[in-house]
Amino acid sequence: MRSFLMSTARPALALISASALGLSLLPQMTAADPALGGSFIRNVAEVSYFNTSLGIMERVFSNPVRAEVASVPGLEVTGYSDLLLTRGAFGRYYFDVVNSGNVPLSTSFSIGEQGQSAMMSHQTLFPDLNGNGQIDPEDAAADMSAPFMLAVGERLQLIYEFRISAETPISTQFASMLRVSAVAEDGQSLTSEATGESRVEEGGLEVSKEQAISETDDGAIITYTLRLRNDSERDAFGYPEIDGQPILIDGTPKTGVLLRDAIPLNTAFNAIRNSGTMTALVHMYGAPLHEYVSVVPAGLSNEVDAVAFFHEGDYAIGHSSDPSFSVRVPKALGALKVHNTASAFYNNQESTLLLGSNTVVYTRETDTPGTLVFEDPETGEDQPYG
């Protein structure tokens, strides 16, 4: 097929529009959106050139080609939990199930207990429907006998709650394995597993977190609430350093218990919402790992790369704290996912252990259109097109 385009261009050597050819061969989708299994991709190549004999631009098209996308099921199951629990405590394992293939999946779940499972009770698996990291009233217990459909790219967060017997011996270790089986529409099957682990100690801290989302014209505000508990049988001892790094607050060495949360990728620090009976701190980019300030320097809020909350001295039995802070997610970033996990540090008199919280995920599906701005090459000021 040939079409003739009149041109005012002066005669020249034949010009091949290679860039147009390359673009026409690409599927019209983003890398983040895999083509669905069973769909078809149709392409037509195109070349434009200047015909020096006729003095016109010509465009030539290839024959159309069509390819069927193969069905490739994919399943990812990950677990975030390594718990330090005390006798009689409730524990929670957090799992993430993702359909990473290009076809829908019918999934089923099963839990296998390992170790001293006789010391566990009240085991229940909950889907965390809103992904806030907590078991809400609307999060009904999962029916293990019923299949759960996962669309392409869909993520399901699960919380497995259980209780440890008050008679459990110290140093007992437990593990629970989540096994996910999936079947695609064409009969292909696959399985994946993840394990949550816990050990029983006389002393310990429990740390968890939840998130709340507020959408604004400029993007989103995510408020993270951290929950620190000492429901153990002894005080959590304070410490002056972590892995050899002294704890400094406004330049002064301190001894106590630290709760830390890094500012997630694609966000910026917004504000401390509540100190939760602790001392609210921020960490500035480039500072030593555990050197904090209690006040954000003027004009440098974008340089905050972590938030911390500090309790001076020992953290007593029965003590609890619920500090919170917020971050901004600019609307201009478009579709994205924001993952966040907090950390507490516990002194077991032999070393200082890092205790991770559950991970919460904020997902924004909407793409944001780009904005084209023309600037003066000398002043950098905006200028009208043309």
pLDDT digits (tens, 9 = 90+) for 300-316: 999 999 999 999 999 99
The whole-angstrom separation of Cα 229 and Cα 231 is: 6
Q: Which residues make Cβ contacts (< 8 Å) with residue 162, sequence separation at least 6?
A: 90, 91, 92, 93, 120, 121, 122, 123, 124, 176
222-232 pLDDT, tens per residue?
999 999 999 99
Burial class (CB in 10 A: 0-12, 13-18, 19+), 145: exposed
- Which pLDDT band holds residue 271 (cuts at 50, 70, 90)? very high
Picking from 36-40, 122-126, 177-181, 284-288, which range would have the lowest pLDDT averaged per residue? 36-40
The whole-angstrom separation of Cα 322 and Cα 292 is: 20
The whole-angstrom separation of Cα 133 and Cα 195 is: 18
**The predicted structure's pLDDT at residue 31:** 44
Q: Tokens standing for 248?
A: 């400094």
Torsion of the alpha carbons at 99, 100, 103 and 109, rounded to the nearest 10? -30
pLDDT more than 70, % of the chain: 89
**The predicted structure's pLDDT at residue 8:** 38
CB count, 10 Å around CB of 283? 23
The answer on pLDDT for 18 being more than 80 is no
The answer on pLDDT for 11 being more than 70 is no
**The predicted structure's pLDDT at residue 53:** 87
Q: Mean of the per-residue pLDDT values for the chain?
A: 87
Q: Which residues make Cβ contacts (< 8 Å) with residue 126, sequence separation at least 6?
A: 135, 139, 140, 141, 142, 158, 159, 160, 161
141-163 pLDDT, tens per residue?
998 889 999 999 999 999 999 99
Q: Give the right CATH number for 205-386 from 2.60.40.740, 1.10.357.10, 1.20.1630.10, 1.10.1200.10.
A: 2.60.40.740
- Which pLDDT band holds residue 14 (cuts at 50, 70, 90)? very low
pTM for the structure as a whole: 0.76
The answer on pLDDT for 218 being more than 70 is yes
Tell which wins on pLDDT, 66 or 379: 66
**The predicted structure's pLDDT at residue 116:** 78
The whole-angstrom separation of Cα 200 and Cα 216 is: 44
Average pLDDT (333-355) is: 92
The answer on pLDDT for 348 being more than 90 is no
**The predicted structure's pLDDT at residue 223:** 98
**The predicted structure's pLDDT at residue 246:** 97
C-beta of residue 327 within 8 angstroms of C-beta of residue 270: yes
Tell which wins on pLDDT, 379 or 210: 210
Q: Which residues make Cβ contacts (< 8 Å) with residue 253, sequence separation at least 6?
A: 240, 246, 247
Q: Does domain 72-201 have CATH number 2.60.40.2910?
A: yes
| In the chain, ranges of CATH 2.60.40.740 domains | 205-386
**The predicted structure's pLDDT at residue 315:** 97
The answer on pLDDT for 10 being more than 50 is no
Average pLDDT (332-357) is: 92
The whole-angstrom separation of Cα 67 and Cα 42 is: 7
Average pLDDT (22-26) is: 37
The answer on pLDDT for 373 being more than 80 is no
The answer on pLDDT for 3 being more than 60 is no
| In the chain, ranges of CATH 2.60.40.2910 domains | 72-201
